[in-house]
Amino acid sequence: MTIPGFILRNALRNKRRMVLTVLSVTLSLFLFCTLQTALRELTNPATSEDAALRVVVRHKVSLGNVLPEKYQSKIGRVPGVLYCSKFTWFGGTYIDEKNFFPQFGCEADKLFQIFTESRIDSKQLEDFIRERTACVVGIKTMERFGWRIGDKITLVGTLWPVDLELTIRGVYYEGIDETNLFFHHDYMDELMGKKGLVGTFWIRAASAEAIPGMIRQIDALFKNTDAETKTETERAFQLGFVSMFGNIKMLIGSISTVIVFTMILVTASTMSMAIRERSRELAILKAVGFDGKQVFGLILAESFGLAMVGGLLGCFGAWALFSNVDIYKLSQGFFIKFDVTPHIISYGLLIAAVLGVSSCIVPALASIRTSVVEGLKTLD
């Protein structure tokens, strides 16, 4: 019998225990990869070269405070500002509160000049710009509710005391977020009685180099006013939402640590039982000429092999699952995408490798230190 065959036969000796051990590692690393991917999606929002040119102006106190509409003309005159559009979160309800999706009031003629990554049919865009009660919707939300061009929908106001009756005139694709609905800001303002209130102003900068100076100038314009501003890049603005969840890095990091520690305990316990059952066999191997390093190598190969099989199944299982499911529907709009990256898979496999080595050290050393005579006295 060859050495690899001997190792495989030992691993398969107790098939039930072997299967349970591999499954425990598989499920643990599947959960680990899922948590790490969730953390990545929450703390590392998708970006692009176009997104790097977008800047957001909001109230300095919080997003719950609004800005005067008259700020727009002053912001538009700041050097480096290419386009500036009103953007206000509506947060209305469509039929049921569970049907959540982002809704924004904007300036239709500037929308796709700011979000240049998104694509929309030119005729649909013209219809959207021309019609006061029109809206455009991302393809994911269109598919989620089965909407079509020309459908009429009603958004019941929750944050704002008005209801919007909208007609879908266009659908956009690609870009950072394909779940939004955009309508005319002026339509909401008219229903509100022309109060001239804006949630945020979104800017497209002429160049990335102009952004730092632009941010300083805009905030300086409205310093010591009743509504001071906080101007930041799109990425910083998105990460501000993540901070509302608290220290999510610590939470997910703590859970991941518990998962790894539990895997070590389970695998080490399995290897201890397996080695204890084979004490006589290991003693015979030492009696016929196998030294301590060779015996340790046999035990290490078995432990490492079991851990890596579980690691491969868990890590690539997570990748296969989340690559073939609609995470937007599965998470009910909480996650737009859920990519298990090669970095996360590599990290998971590294943990599996460390697990395979560390879990066998103590039982293997104990077996090596046991004399041949003591080992032969052990009953099977």
Q: Do residues 101 and 333 make contact, with C-beta atoms less than 8 angstroms apart? A: yes
pLDDT recorded at residue 307: 84
Mean pLDDT of successive 10-residue segments in the chain (380 residues)? 60 71 87 87 68 88 87 91 92 87 92 90 94 94 92 91 94 84 94 89 90 92 90 81 63 79 76 65 60 68 82 92 79 71 91 82 65 54
Q: What is the pTM of this model?
A: 0.66
pLDDT value of position 191: 92
User: Do 21 and 170 share a domain, yes or no?
Assistant: no
Position 21 scores a pLDDT of 81
- For 167, counting Cβ atoms within 10 Å of its Cβ (0-12 exposed, 13-18 middle, 19+ buried), the class is middle
pLDDT attached to residue 278: 64
Which pLDDT belongs to residue 289? 57
What integer pLDDT is reported at residue 300 of this predicted model? 76
In this structure, the answer to whether residues 41 and 91 fall within a common structural domain is no
| Helix count and strand count (H, E) for the chain | 15, 12
Q: Are residues 153 and 101 in the same domain?
A: yes
Q: Note whether 103 and 25 are same-domain residues.
A: no
How confident is the model at residue 8, as a pLDDT?
61
Q: What is the C-alpha separation between 309 and 22, in angstroms, rounded? A: 7
Expressed as residue numbers, the domain containing 366 is 3-45+246-377
Tell me which of 194, 227, 260 is where a domain ends.
Answer: 227
pLDDT of residue 204: 92
For position 2, what pLDDT does the model report? Answer: 65
* Domain co-membership, 208 together with 264: no
Domain boundary among 193, 227, 261: 227
Q: Which of 227, 261, 277 is the last residue of a domain?
A: 227
